[in-house]
Amino acid sequence: MRILGIETSCDDTSVALVRDGGSVESVVISSQVKAHRPYGGVVPELAARMHTEAIHYLLPKCLEKAGVSWSDIDRIAVTTTPGLEAALLIGVVVAKTLGMMLKCPVVPVNHIWGHIYSVFMDTDAPPAFPFVALVVSGGHTQLWSVTGHYQFELLGQTRDDAVGEAFDKVARQLGLGYPGGPPVEQRAALGDPKRYPLPRPLRDSPFEFSFSGLKTAVMQLVNGLGTVDDHQITDICASFQAAVIDTLIEKSSAALRHTGASTLCIVGGVAANRTLLQTASARLNGVRVVAPPIHYCTDNAAMIATAAQYFPITNQTTLSELRVGMVNM
């Protein structure tokens, strides 16, 4: 089984070919980060226009890289939700057109579940069910109970900011650039995490998150200090990251206890934070902590194609039914 994956939900255009449950043949990505940077966020119209331009050269490039021809494709997978409507539409229209031309099924994929399926990519040791999935990205912070393929239950999510967004805003406040996760992690490794006591938010609600209070606490700390020197910036990064990691691990631990699972999968852009993974492994006794390699943590079409490999094709969606916002279970 060879699946062509298409991902256009936000600011990365990506196309991938995946075989037999997660073996990645090729993945190509065009990032729009630089184009949106002057606006301080993703501009939906611009994103859609750039996806339209990128997808046409990425498709042949992806096939060429794998040495695969159009007739070798068995299924197409496309992200249908969640994401920017105008951006998702580009991927959906391209997938439907290809499905019609190649006469093959098109599977709608939930982007979040795509992130969860990233732990099945290019690995000899995929996680066993049941497991808890901690989805941490620039747009989402969620805990899921996963008891089998396409057996997902949302346990809780953030009430306000996503954890990646908090990293980005703190980095911006400290003048560390965008995206903020990597520079904050690098600084944090050199700093004192106990120097500035910061809140561990929403302790009484086991599976829900809130990061806007923590972000505000960092802003107040920085404003209160006046000018911050290099040493202080490093200690603020360490203190902030410690508060985030404590919170993520505490809530994941509660989810593991609640579900009885002994595997925790950490996925999404913030799973690129190796300090988070190492701390989780060290603190959660008897728990296997699984995360994809760094290059599969951020948005890519290979995870979308992988998710479609496990989708029961008996529930097949017809091309006329397929639309943005559709969720398949």
Residues that bind ligand KG4 (CB under 6 A): 10, 137-139, 164-165, 167-168, 179-182, 185, 268-270, 272-273, 298-299
Q: Which amino acid is at 70?
A: W
Kindly tell me which of 35 and 68 has the beta carbon lying closer to ligand KG4: 35
Which residues from 104-123 bind Zn ion, rule CB under 5 A? none
3-class SS at 210? coil
* 142 contact partners, CB below 8 Å, separation of at least 6: 112, 133, 134, 135, 154, 155, 156, 157, 158
Min CB(232)–ligand KG4 separation in Å = 20
Kindly tell me which of 1 and 33 has the beta carbon lying closer to ligand KG4: 33
Question: CA-CA distances (angstroms) from residue 154 to 184, 282, 297?
Answer: 29, 26, 20
Min CB(124)–Zn ion separation in Å = 25
Min CB(273)–Zn ion separation in Å = 15
Give the integer Cα–Cα distance in Å for 243 and 202: 12
Kindly tell me which of 99 and 138 has the beta carbon lying closer to ligand KG4: 138
Any contact of residue 299 with Zn ion (CB under 5 A)? yes
- 135 phi and psi, to 5 degrees? -100, 115
Residue ranges of alpha helices (H) inside 180-272 are 181-188, 212-225, 230-259
CB 117 within 8 A of CB 310: yes
Q: CA nearest 203: which of 256, 250, 160?
A: 250
Q: Which region, judged by CB under 5 A, interacts with Zn ion, from 37-45, 142-150, 158-166, 291-299?
A: 291-299
Min CB(6)–ligand KG4 separation in Å = 16
Kindly tell me which of 98 and 270 has the beta carbon lying closer to Zn ion: 270
Which residues from 123-142 bind Zn ion, rule CB under 5 A? 137
Min CB(275)–ligand KG4 separation in Å = 8
Min CB(248)–Zn ion separation in Å = 17
Give the integer Cα–Cα distance in Å for 70 and 57: 14
- 102 phi and psi, to 5 degrees? -90, -5
Give the integer Cα–Cα distance in Å for 50 and 28: 15
Kindly tell me which of 183 and 269 has the beta carbon lying closer to Zn ion: 269
Kindly tell me which of 7 and 185 has the beta carbon lying closer to Zn ion: 7
Any contact of residue 306 with Zn ion (CB under 5 A)? no
| Both structure tokens of 14 | 């990506």
Any contact of residue 79 with Zn ion (CB under 5 A)? no
Min CB(215)–ligand KG4 separation in Å = 12
CB 284 within 8 A of CB 252: yes
127 binds, among Zn ion, ligand KG4, none (CB under 5 to 8 A by kind): none
130 binds, among ligand KG4, Zn ion, none (CB under 5 to 8 A by kind): none
Can you give the binding site for Zn ion, defined by CB under 5 A?
137, 299
